[in-house]
Amino acid sequence: MGEMAVPAEALYGASTQRAVLNFPISGRPMPAGFIRALALIKRAAAETNAELGLLDPAMARAIVAAADDVAAGRHDDAFPIDIYQTGSGTSTNMNANEVIAHLASVRLDAPVHPNDHVNAGQSSNDTIPTAMQLAAAIAIDLTLLPALERLHGSLAAKATEFDSIVKTGRTHLQDATPIRLGQEFAGYAGQVAASIRRARTALDELLSVPLGGTAVGTGINAPAGAAGKTCARLASLTGLAVRETDNHFLAQATLDTVIAAHGALRAIALSLWKIASDVRLMGMGPRAGIAELALPETQPGSSIMPGKVNPVIVESLTMVVARVVGNDAAIGFSQTGSLLELNVMMPVAAAALLESIELLGAAAANFSARAIEGLKATNRGPQLVEQGLMLATALAPVIGYDAAANLAKDALGSGRTIRELALERGIPAADLDLLLDPDRMTRPGGGGGPARG
């Protein structure tokens, strides 16, 4: 394509510079985690190629050392190519090849070729999707899972702490029968436990990588068995069970694995939205709302109203959820780039996938540290239970559904309690103490007997 002027101080070459000029789109380069994963692939491939006699051992060692430097983040500024580039990610693959070749050449004091040596036995079409999946798996393992595990522990601790606190349950945002605050939090802890299982399932699926398919999935120019050896080295480097896919044509021609993995992330995000939103509702007040919970005060909430404190940690998390749901749409739409033997929307899918993992990990950890762990229960929940109209539910098996409904209606109209009106209707106080025991109503078999409707 002719000559290309490259800045004298640049570690990359003509292919990278041409891509920098071709894609002045967002100013956002590929994520650092993606570059790290790509460098690990180059490192492992160099060792495999040396083992198979395809690279001189000294050259391989130079490539390994250079790739290690890149993976450690020492040359992040040498990766300037925009996310919105060639759909196969070839530009970024060549960026990595050129930077690693340059560094290795300096170390070796001899020429190292970006294609012939650093990219030996590889194609952008298998290294880029492998880097996407490997980077996501590493991020789930190092960032998301620890954050979810901390949040699960925090919620489970609150479930135990709040187990004796009986409050009014609500369905349709209307008063329902009593529930223990600890039971609600056990439900939230269960949601996060399920999220952890989903994240681990996604992690496992991502670890089946396309490496070895080269251009179209056939493995042309890649020695037999090389990808398996390289995957074993990647497993050793990361501590994750990286393995070669058993169907390269599926793995390179589609984003099925990434779509499924991000679907798990969307489920996790929306699960966190439910938990955070419930905490926000129960903390609404402190005087004119539900106010059953007191959230930790983290910062002043208003520039005009002195003393106002807002649930800002919850708001931060819900905005992350919005971003993750948007990323899920972007990744799903990226499947439209799956044409014949290759997907050509991989860079944007990779950026969205990694952003979702990092955001969810950071937001979940922050929610745990700055909202859940300092959460306090107020007296408001127990105080409202005796006034609850749905206490009449416990009387329905004794006096019938219609009579209990009339009792609730009368209590609402008069402002009196179910207990007071039931006493007037002749139910003995001792029976009411048993039937209207709020704690008993929160346990299996609680209430007056089998419901009639």
Q: Please give the positions annotated as active site.
A: 172, 302
Question: Angle at which helices 32-51 and 124-139 pack, to 10 degrees?
Answer: 120
Could you count the other beta carbons within 10 Å of the beta carbon of residue 274? 13
> Who's near 172: CB < 8 A, 6+ residues apart?
none
Nearest to 394 by CA among 347, 358, 447, 446: 447
- Alpha-carbon distance of 162 to 183, in angstroms, equals 8
